[in-house]
Amino acid sequence: MSVPVRSAHVTGWGSYAPRQVLSNRDLERPVDTSDEWIVTRTGIRERRVAAAHETTASLAAVCGARAIAGAGPDPADPAPHRLELEVFTHNARAIHVYKKLGFQEEGTRHQAFFKEGRFVDALMMGMIFDETGGKP
């Protein structure tokens, strides 16, 4: 009896960086350092600073939307496509991001995972794309 082989692969990814750049030169006076000192020890040349209206959830939502757009179903394939995930029920930030992306709650798996010495529940969420590649 052969066991079917299951596989997965990344079909899309998304990224986002806030617009405001903080360079090593910007840090030289306030921190009494130099660009060369920072680069030789860390390799860092610049960092990004989130705007007042940006949160980790809003940054994640942009990344998620770009990943879904990049991995969207092939419009030439007429079959509906489903994207699903599970998230810990106590992770309100992630649930907020997924809902913002169009995922809907579909149920809860009680005691789905054993984490840090206790069982935790998982929220099942899903999204269906129609034959045009869009969300219905």
pTM, two decimal places? 0.67
Query: Shortest CA distance to 65 belongs to which of 91, 83, 47?
Result: 83
Buried b (16+ CB within 10 A) or exposed e, 45-66: eeeeeeeeebeeebbbbbbbbe
* C-alpha closest to that of 60 among 32, 85, 87, 96: 96
| pLDDT value at residue 71 | 77
Domains in the chain: ranges and CATH:
76-136 (3.40.630.30)
- Position 4, amino acid: P
Per-residue pLDDT of the chain (136 residues; tens, 9 = 90+): 677 877 777 778 899 999 999 999 999 989 899 999 999 999 999 999 999 999 999 999 999 889 888 876 666 666 667 788 899 999 999 999 999 998 999 999 999 889 899 999 999 999 887 655 555 4
Closest C-alpha to 104, from 82, 80, 78, 130: 82
